[in-house]
Amino acid sequence: MFFGLYDAIVDAISSAIDGVEALITRLINPRAHKWIEVNRRAVGLHEQHLHDEAGPVYEEALRLARASRRSLRVAITLVNMALLEMEQRRLDDARQHLVEALAIRSRELGEDSRTTASTRRWLAAVYFELDQPAQAAELLAVSLQRAEERFGQESGEVAAASVALAAAQVKAGDLAEAERLYRTTAGMVERAAGPRAPVTAFYLLRLGEFLVARERMVEAQPVLARAVEVWDMVGDEEALTPAVDLLVTVCRSTDDQEAAVAAADRFARNVARFHERDRARVAAALERRSEILRWAGQVDEADKLTRRAAILRAAWEKERLEDQRQEERRREATRPVVDTVDEVLAEAKLEKG
């Protein structure tokens, strides 16, 4: 996730320092010119995943950015540092840097700037990871409001912002508001995109997931069935697989044996079709189908599937062990012929002359 966001920041940096602006900066503001060089070096190290080396260079870039009195350069550096810190799971440091960057960009670029919006979204993600959902929800509520004002109530941007806010509300414990957001978003998308649009099924699935997590299976079943129906109409078998997966659980909970058996069969077939090489995953899907068949009284068929799953698991285990042995042989073959420092220390004696 963060690598894609990081690439966008790098692109923004590159565009900001091209052409005439860079030339003028070099002539009239040597501190800003130095920042360009240092920040580029930090970005290069970061892109090579040399995190320990990139960190101090970013610190130097930040010092130069502050000295140049170019607040947007300060914000760029702060965001780059935060992205590095996210990769290192130093989320408290990332939070501090994004808070300052967001304040700068809100002031200099405006609340509706795409750059400001991205910074706000990234800070919300950090709050979410830090288990501070209330702070995340506060930021995401602003994002939703801005999306409504800029793109209109029935827009894809509003739908995406709504479900992001709903997820934060769930974690914050405001389940009523979260459910309202999930339901209104699913309805809005169906009105705007149409009842046969894949995006309609996507937001129905989000609502269904919420209801299943609350163990409201009777309500969840028609929602998920509707999502599967939409994906069926557009012929996207792979996309509907997560909804079918949930339907297995829901139909068993509601004691709908026929629907549960059908959903388990379809789920197992789709896993085998789209994840053929993942033998462990295919075996798990077969085991689940077997469990549902046994529950529905189809014991003989369940036993057959259990045996097929066991064969797949044995093959998967054999492959895993062989891969492990090959890795051990590779490591042994590439063992360095030069003594390590520890080996030198183990055998060497101090020389007195």
Q: Rounded to an integer, what distance in angstroms lies between the CA atom of residue 78 and that of residue 62? A: 7
CA angle 167/169/175 to nearest 5° reads 105
Q: Under a CB-based contact definition with an 8 Å cutoff, are residues 32 and 74 in contact?
A: no
Position of tokens 């459910």?
179
Query: DSSP string of 178-235?
Result: HHHHHHHHHHHHHHHH-TT-HHHHHHHHHHHHHHHHTT-HHHHHHHHHHHHHHHHHHT
pLDDT for the residue 322: 86
Predicted local distance difference test score (pLDDT) of residue 323 = 83
Report the pLDDT value the prediction gives residue 31, as an integer from 0 to 100.
58
Question: How confident is the model at residue 3, as a pLDDT?
Answer: 39
**pLDDT on residue 157:** 92
What is the distance of C-alpha 242 from the center of its chain?
Answer: 17
Asked if 152 and 42 count as a contact pair (C-beta separation under 8 A), the reply is: no
- Pick from 159, 161, 127, 126: nearest CA to 143: 161
13 vs 80: CA distance, rounded Å:
10
Q: Is 277 helix (H, G, I), strand (E, B) or coil?
A: coil
The domain limits of the chain are: 1-152
User: What backbone torsions phi and psi does residue 195 show, to the nearest 5 degrees?
Assistant: -70, -15
Domain formed by 1-152, architecture:
Alpha Horseshoe (1.25)
DSSP labels, 117-156: HHHHHHHHHHHHHTT-HHHHHHHHHHHHHHHHHHH-SSSH
Return the number of other C-beta atoms located less than 10 Å from residue 154's C-beta.
13
What per-residue confidence (pLDDT) applies to 330?
72
pLDDT tens across the length of the chain (353 residues): 433 444 444 454 444 444 334 434 444 455 557 888 999 999 999 999 999 999 999 999 999 999 988 899 999 999 999 999 999 999 999 999 999 999 999 999 998 888 999 999 999 999 999 999 999 999 999 999 999 998 998 999 999 999 999 999 999 999 999 999 999 999 999 999 999 999 999 999 999 999 999 999 999 999 999 999 999 998 888 998 999 999 999 999 999 999 999 999 999 999 999 998 899 999 999 999 999 999 999 999 999 999 999 999 998 888 888 888 887 777 666 555 555 556 566 666 555 44
Sign for the CA dihedral angle at 154, 159, 161, 162 comes to positive
